[in-house]
Structures are given as structure tokens and as C-alpha cells.
Amino acid sequence: MTLFDPEPVSEAPAPGPTERVRLVVAYDGAPFSGFARNDGVRTVGGDLTQAIGTVLGAPVELTCAGRTDKGVHALAQVVTFDAPVGTVDPARLTKSLNKLCGPAIAVWGATTVAPDFDARFSATARRYRYLVHNSPTPDPFTAGSAWHVDAPLALHAMVLACDAVIGEHDFAAFCRRPKRRDGQEASLVRRVTEATWTDDGGGRLRFEIEASSFCHQMVRSVVGTLVDVGRGRKRPGDVLGIIRSGDRDRAGDLAPPHGLTLWTVRYPGWSSDEGRGEWPSDPGPR
């Protein structure tokens, strides 16, 4: 189900030369079953694909920087697609997409880029932010964007536990192992360059993590494990052992998806921060 019901667009490829278009997109993940198109359910990619096809009068195929799961938000997701040369007016496309897709999806802007720019494979790093509302009392104003944990959390222990996450590791203990068509086992080795907790006051705890790329459900699993450390269920020193074990059963439960936001995607000479509009660097709870 979508917010609009345009005339169907032919699936035949557009003839002639094409140009590559890049979008920087924000969305509230609550109404969507993830980013990737999936017949029978509403997804961010499905809505965007349909809307772009409606505006351009030709079908497109989207590539995104990171396939967010059901309920996960994005502040500056990056999307690329190819369109027939001369059919894209970036300002008009942005305005039209926001009318068709808003308010759940917002397009910060559109621009044409080099043909070898790829939203996924050109990216050098992704940054995620996770919010925890740590208070005995729930907050209705952040209920859709932060995980409410009513038990007291030892923030110093959670900060200390982050040291084990930083660096290059096999994160099999924190990931769902993907299936590959060739029968080979996919590598779950990732390089994390930053992982940190910050107390923003008022019971709001902010976790930020940046890596070259992430495995499926990796951030939510890491957050769930670190919150277990804060609760006293695990010690900071246990986290490195969990990583080395490769045993998914030793990690904590998945943190709820609604606290997670894809915050920034980095590329050589550019990051999605630069294309995300006029919000300040920290617009507050999402």
C-alpha cells in the first residue's frame, strides 16, 4: 500500500543514453517494512521507485547506501538511479517527490553525478546513531525514536565496553549470516572506526558507531549487548570474548529497530551530511 496510486509505468528499459542521479533522503521507518522493495508490503524503496517513475515517466532501478530494516529510520540515506538524459530537473524532481512521498519520506535534494558513482559500492563509511531513553518514566515525545529502558544503566561501563568493538573483527556473534547463491560462506569481517556513548541529558543516551560497512542487524545486536553491560548482566571485559567466540547466542538481544537511524554515508571527497538540507548538525531526537 502506498500513499498515492499513479498510473502503472512500463517495466521496459528506457532506450538511449542515460545519466546517473543521486538523492539524499530522510525517512521515518515506522510505516515501512524496510528499504528494499518487497511485493505485498510497503517499503521506502518501493514508494521512491514508484514516485520517481511517475515523475519521470520511465521506470528506474534504485541502489541505496544501506538497506535499513523494518522500522529503522534514516537522516541522510543516499540513493542512485539512472534516467534518460535530459529528463531530470533536480529541483523539480525534489519538489515532486516530496509532494508524493512526504511526510514519511523527505528528499533533501537531487543532483546528477559521474556515471561510475554508486550509492552502495562508492561509499567508504556509514554512520549510525541509536537513542536510548533511560528513565523510570516513558517519554511520549521520543517513543517512536528511542528505546525506553527503565532500569538504571551504568554509562561508564557501556563506554568502556565500546573499546572491544573498535577495530577489525569478525562480527559473526552480532550478525545474521547471509545466504549466498554460490554456496560460499560470506565474510562478516568489518572494520569499526568509532563506537561511543554520550549522555545528552534528560535520560537521553546516544550511541554512535561508524564502520566501512555493517552486517545485517549488527548495530542493533551491539547496542543490545552494550545495554546488557549497562544493566550489569555482562561485564565490559566480556564483549571481546563474545566477539572472538563468533557465537550469536552469547551476544545480547536485538535492540528495537525504532531507536536506530542511518545518520551519515561517506564517499571520497563528499558525505551525505553535505546534501541533507538546512537541519542543524544535531536536530534532536529522531
**In the chain, what percentage of residues exceed pLDDT 70?**
89
DSSP β-bridge partners for residue 64: 79
Is 69 catalytic? The answer is yes
For 101-133, what is each residue's pLDDT tens digit? 999 999 999 999 999 999 999 999 999 999 999
Say what the pTM is.
0.89
Amino acid 186: pLDDT? 82
Q: Is the pLDDT of residue 191 over 70?
A: yes
Which of 28, 69, 82, 228 is an active site residue?
69
For residue 233, what pLDDT band results from cuts at 50, 70 and 90?
very high
Q: Is the pLDDT of residue 199 over 60?
A: yes
Instruction: Give the residue-averaged pLDDT of 17-31.
Output: 96
For 235-264, what is each residue's pLDDT tens digit? 999 999 999 999 999 999 999 999 999 999
Q: Is the pLDDT of residue 286 over 70?
A: no
CA 261 to chain centre: 6
Q: How far apart are CA 169 and CA 69, in angstroms?
A: 23
What ranges do the domains of the chain cover? 18-113, 125-270
Instruction: Give the residue-averaged pLDDT of 68-95.
Output: 96
Q: Is the pLDDT of residue 33 over 50?
A: yes
Q: Domain 125-270, what fold? A: Alpha-Beta Plaits (3.30.70)
Amino acid 8: pLDDT? 39
Q: What is the DSSP letter of 19?
A: E
Assess contact for 48 and 25: CB atoms under 8 A.
yes
Q: How far apart are CA 235 and CA 175, in angstroms?
A: 21
Q: How far apart are CA 202 and CA 243, in angstroms?
A: 32
Q: Architecture of 18-113 per CATH? A: 2-Layer Sandwich (3.30)
Q: What is the DSSP letter of 53?
A: H
Instruction: Give the residue-averaged pLDDT of 85-110.
Output: 96
Instruction: Give the residue-averaged pLDDT of 76-84.
Output: 97
On the question of a common fold for 18-113 and 125-270, the answer reads yes
